[in-house]
Chain A
């Protein structure tokens, strides 16, 4: 972009620029001054115009003044915490889990404003190396505590060759207009297996940004589930790159959107080598006056023959004022591939509802049964019983308006 027309900067941008300068990121500050936050004219932010949506940014976060209870209790999990972007001391790690911390964020090639802000502002990263078969679920409990604050936190995870693990990231905090920018850079070694689940339970005034970047080596198997069940504005960006043949990933996600919320999941999957497979399954449910966004892009490189990728997005509207937006995109440069995508959006099926009610089940309960049925295939693959139960409780909590 060489366009030099000066952009008018809003208060959020001015605060961000000052914060970048105070963090010593002069080049980033200058870049943001030149371009401003992305508007709908930037393709990847088309439905989430940050310039419009991010009206102000609170001051940079100090150390957390003590934490509230975990937003999600998972029995038997090993819990690590990052509060206000700062890595907290952890208990003794279970076998196969090596916990460390490093200065700064993590270098990534991704050119994205949220990634750049995170890289410039995160002071340190939690680093995890997983070896062998890691038994307990690892929970990374990411908090924004105290008065409204802007924080950036970073996690780097390496799943060693042949290792297997389940990681759950939960995002929560005090009831304030936080802006939190979380990054997770995850690399799977040869034959590694990982289930990575991210659940946003931020308070209703908060802005939640998360970036998950995945890299898969040969024969690695990845399962992901990103759930938005909080915040006023949220965007989770999932960037994945298949770098080794024989690797497979199931990406899934869920936007649970209610009145006043704008929740966005943006996915960009790159099949860079031959013989890799992926399945993308994303669902959105919206009620009240709200907006749910899913953008999914599959890129298949020219020599990535035998790629098999299927992307499906399904929306369920529970009110007439809700908006569910889905944008699937395929960019295929190889010729011997099986790729497809589908997108549907509907309301609760009246015929099914009548059938259930005709058996004596009241409307609200029947609707809840049908919505649960709609979501079942997302939670079903979670094998850990405690985790499955915890996620089901998050969904039920949303359904029952808790």
Chain B
């Protein structure tokens, strides 16, 4: 049996004394795209932050294995170098940090951590240009400070650009569809689909079924009150859309 890219076992996590994740179990084999759907406040972003290693959260129980390796003791940068990428629900604006400087620093830090040589400037420029073209990111956008003044759609496209450049083995997309109009949704979905290569795995977090028409998942999980309550194929998302979350978690909508 091959090692899954992601394996989460009985994960419990809390923030400020409040338990948010209450026993998450999830296995994503190589090359599969899994979707997590759940109502607002159910803990989806918390799961993504705990995966990425945000300090504010305390993991009280359970394990997270990335390609078979327990990552819970790793710093966020080490997890990234190990192949994890999180596309943020709300990408952060960082004035004073040039986008290109940031991209180059990120790529080279990961290469260094893996014992690879730094990317030369021409190779880097070429990679950014190619990935940017597909996501309709022009050089003007890249000249600005990181995410500063980007529209909602531009921020999401910039996240996917980073993902394309960093080539993670596991990409976690947290509500990448929120705030996108239908055109932008198509551009972003196309960018994501282009990165599906049979090896790379993805965890697509969303509130709406709409995204899953564009990024078609292998498995859909319903998330409620800090755990997965139901799993199925892509039709589960349609049922969810029809019945609402109340039909799955028994809580009033």
Contacts and interface: CB of A to CB of B under 8 A. Distances in A.
A365 B109 CA distance: 9
B73 interface: no
Contacts of A351: 92
Interface stretch (A40-48, A186-194, A320-328, A367-375): A367-375
A104 B77 CA distance: 59
The winner among A351, A355, A356, A376 for most chain B CB atoms within 10 A is A355
A352 interface: yes
A314 to B, nearest CB: 12
The winner among A372, A373, A375 for most chain B CB atoms within 10 A is A373
A359 B97 contact: no
Interface string A347-379: 000111011111111110110011011111100
Contacts of B97: 356, 369-370, 372-373
B54 A354 contact: yes
A360 B92 contact: no
B77 A373 contact: no
A360 B96 contact: no
B164 interface: no
B15 interface: no
Given A354-B54, A354-B76, A369-B97, A361 B92 contact: no
Interface in A203-222: none
Interface string B224-236: 0000000000000
Contacts of A359: 77, 80, 102, 106, 109-110, 162, 166
Interface residues of A, number: 23
A351 B147 CA distance: 14
B76 A358 contact: yes
Given A355-B91, A355-B94, A360 B75 contact: no
Interface residues of B, number: 31
A361 B77 contact: yes
A373 B79 CA distance: 25
B96 A357 contact: no
B185 interface: no
Contact of B77 (A357, A369, A377): A357
The winner among A355, A357, A360 for most chain B CB atoms within 10 A is A360
Contacts of A377: 96
Contacts of B162: 359
A305 to B, nearest CB: 35
Nearest to A351: B92
B180 to A, nearest CB: 20
B55 interface: yes
B177 to A, nearest CB: 20
A372 B109 contact: no
Contacts of B81: 360
Contacts of A360: 77, 80-81, 106-107, 109-110, 113, 166
Contact of B75 (A352, A355, A357, A374): A357
B137 to A, nearest CB: 16
Contacts of B247: none
A350 B76 CA distance: 12
A362 B77 contact: yes
The winner among B53, B77, B86 for most chain A CB atoms within 10 A is B77
Interface in B154-194: 162, 166
Given A352-B92, A355-B92, A361-B109, A369 B80 contact: no
Interface of A: 350-352, 354-363, 365-366, 369-370, 372-377
State the 3 A-B residue pairs at the shortest beta-carbon distance, nearest first.
A373-B96, A360-B80, A360-B110
